[in-house]
Amino acid sequence: MRYPHVHRVTAVAVTIGVTALSLAACSSPAKPGPGSSSQLSGTLNASGSTFQLTFQQAAIQTFKSVQPSITVNYGGGGSGKGRTDLSSGTVGFAGSDSPIPSDEMSNFKGKTVLYFPVIIGPITVSYNLSGHTSLKMTPTVIADIFQGKITKWNDPAIAQINPGAKLPSTPITIARRSDSSGTTANFSLFLQDAVPSVWKLGSSSTINWPASSRGGDGNGGVAQIIKSTPGAIGYVDYADAKASGLTYASVQNAAGDYIAPSVAGATAAAQQATVASNLTFAAVWAHNSSTAYPITYQSWDLVFAKQSSKKTADLLKAYLGYLLGNGQQLLTSLSYAPLPANIDAKAKAQLSKITS
């Protein structure tokens, strides 16, 4: 149903890069890792979150050097599609940017679903304003910009937190997603958590943006609008913002510090999150850390605890174990953030709950 042309181009580039890396790795004598004592074979199918897509495609390539006979297919399609595919049994695991929502619980009745967090990433507030490369923003200002209350760049609310910046009277163009998205869901969740009294548009994968806003398909589509429109501002996944060479704002976190989006800032935010016993958490608007970037989101791989055969269970353990182990090292080079050690350890310990 989707046409992620932009993602695909990035993905292909990443795949090529990673293949080159893994070829280089192969030239040195292969050293079996501690977990790969037995060689498995088979196919694992998965779908869901497009936030995970680049990471999954890179990990699938490098996983080949650990388990050459396991084929993993990760289809993308969105978190909602992934959860539907998991509940109907067409995939072995599903990527999802949010825990199973209450109105979908009935699809999973009588079955235990395990959450494996695999990836963390910052969402940038990117803008196009020539001469201004380091603007600061508070959640209140961001909320008012995105609900159309602040319409010009020299608005006193922006000027007040950026003393010394000579702001022009350029009108603000809001760039946002035209497709439903986990990025939209988590960006709006940030505004709802940080400034509930200011933010009126709610939190969902699709938001009723002001009519004057402009919609782009995927993070790449939004980045394209920002790049080509002077005065534009939008929320873009960190990896895509960096790839498109966008300028992004430093955002004030709960501790009151202005933090620029970065891999370290995202991991710091996740570290502070309260992790539930089923390993769900929200890294967004984390408290008590002066280094945390506040607009940080995460994604899980969802798996049924009870698998139909031992073989499938072993395949899932091998691949998810890889994502949580060596796979995490891929993330930083892709501009995503690895899991903090405390969450990673809990996720690894949970692998033993996958049984047949």
Partner 1 sequence: MSTVTQDHQAAPPSALSQRRPLGDRSFQTLALAAGLLVLVILVLIAVSTSQQASSWFSHEGTKIFSKTWNPAAGQFGALSFIYGTAITALIAIVLSVPVSLGIALLLTEVVPRRWSRPIVSVIDLLAVVPSVVWGLWGILVFAPWIQHIYASIGSGVTGVPVLGPLFGAPTSGASFFTAGIILAFMITPIITSLSREVIATVPSIDREGAYALGATRLEMIRGVVMPHSQGGIVGAVLLGLGRAMGETIAVALVIGASATITPHLFAPGYNMPSVIANEFGEATGVFRAGLMGLGVLLFVFTIILNVVARWIVARSARRGRGA
Q: Give the footprint of partner 1 on this chain (CB under 8 A).
A: 1-3, 5, 50, 77-81, 83, 97, 101, 103-104, 178-182, 184-185, 188, 201-209, 211-215, 217, 228
State the burial class of residue 36 (Cβ atoms within 10 Å of its Cβ: 0-12, 13-18, 19+). middle
Closer to partner 1 by CB, 50 or 126: give it. Answer: 50
Query: Minimal distance in Å, beta carbon 50 to partner 1?
Result: 7
Query: Minimal distance in Å, beta carbon 323 to partner 1?
Result: 22
Query: Minimal distance in Å, beta carbon 80 to partner 1?
Result: 5
Query: Minimal distance in Å, beta carbon 211 to partner 1?
Result: 5
Closer to partner 1 by CB, 218 or 265: give it. Answer: 218
Q: CA 127, CA 174: separation in Å to the nearest integer? A: 9
Q: CA 63, CA 84: separation in Å to the nearest integer? A: 26
Q: CA 124, CA 45: separation in Å to the nearest integer? A: 31
Query: Minimal distance in Å, beta carbon 83 to partner 1?
Result: 7
Closer to partner 1 by CB, 189 or 316: give it. Answer: 189
Q: Which stretches does DSSP call E strand in 152-204?
A: 173-177
CA distances from 211 to 146, 174, 180 (A): 11, 10, 17
Closer to partner 1 by CB, 84 or 267: give it. Answer: 84
Q: CA 131, CA 243: separation in Å to the nearest integer? A: 20
CA neighbours within 13 Å on the CB side: how many for 215?
Answer: 13
Query: Minimal distance in Å, beta carbon 190 to partner 1?
Result: 14
Closer to partner 1 by CB, 188 or 296: give it. Answer: 188
Q: SS3 of 228, please?
A: helix
Query: Minimal distance in Å, beta carbon 317 to partner 1?
Result: 28
| Residue 125 CB contacts under 8 Å (≥ 6 apart), including other chains | 137, 142, 233, 234, 235, 248, 249, 251, 295
Question: Alpha-carbon Rg of the chain, whole angstroms?
Answer: 21
The alpha carbon dihedral of 127, 130, 136, 137 has a sign of negative
Closer to partner 1 by CB, 83 or 317: give it. Answer: 83
Closer to partner 1 by CB, 81 or 317: give it. Answer: 81
